[in-house]
Structures are given as C-alpha cells and as structure tokens.
C-alpha cells in the first residue's frame, strides 16, 4: 500500500501561524506539509490533534499554490487532501466545506 504525505490547514488566528507551518494570509490559513506516511483516516486524526484538518481546496489558486509549494520543497506531487467519500455516497470535504 502506498501512503503519501498530507497537507493540514489551520485557520489563522491573530495573523500568526504555528512554528513549522507555512502562512498564506491570502487564503486565511496556515499549512503544514507532513511527510509522515499514514492512511487517510490517520492523517486526518493527526491534523485534528494539532487543531486542523486535511486541507479543503477552495479554488484553483489555492490548488496551484499547494502544488507549487510541494514541488518547491521537493515533496513530490501526490498527497492527501480532505476530499473523501467515507461517510456518504458522494464526495465531501472532511471539514464540511461545500465543494
């Protein structure tokens, strides 16, 4: 089974991002790219343990930024985001964001 890195987002509070995260104020979020190899559900649990979720990509600009950041940090091109169909018959964002 191939397990890949994942991206967590944390809402920006008072403009500060935690150490080890990347700030992108234009999206109002902090991002952490993790190279921990975990199944999807464990990746989400890890994200929740630090106050976030697997990222819900809101638009093409955010998607491009995530891909560029992963590429520029030599993290590859495959990683988990919070889009899934684990609890419903259709695809949903793990944090409830409307796709």
Question: Domain boundaries in the chain?
Answer: 5-93
Query: What are the structure tokens assigned to 19, written together?
Result: 């150490």
Q: H/E element holding 67?
A: helix 60-72
Residue 82 CA to residue 6 CA, distance in Å, equals: 9
Q: Are 52 and 10 in contact (CB under 8 A)?
A: yes
Residue pLDDT tens, the chain, 99 long: 333 445 666 665 546 777 888 887 777 788 888 888 888 889 889 888 888 888 888 888 988 888 888 888 877 767 888 888 877 668 888 877 655
């Amino acid at each position: 089974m191939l397990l890949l890195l994942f991206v967590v987002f944390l809402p920006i509070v008072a403009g500060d991002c935690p150490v080890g995260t990347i700030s992108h104020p234009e999206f109002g979020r902090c991002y952490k790219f993790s190279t921990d190899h975990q199944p999807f559900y464990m990746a989400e649990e890890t994200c929740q343990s630090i106050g976030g979720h697997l990222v819900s990509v809101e638009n093409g600009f955010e998607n491009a930024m995530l891909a560029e950041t992963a590429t520029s940090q030599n993290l590859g091109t495959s990683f988990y985001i919070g889009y899934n169909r684990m609890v419903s018959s259709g695809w949903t964002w793990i944090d409830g964001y409307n796709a």
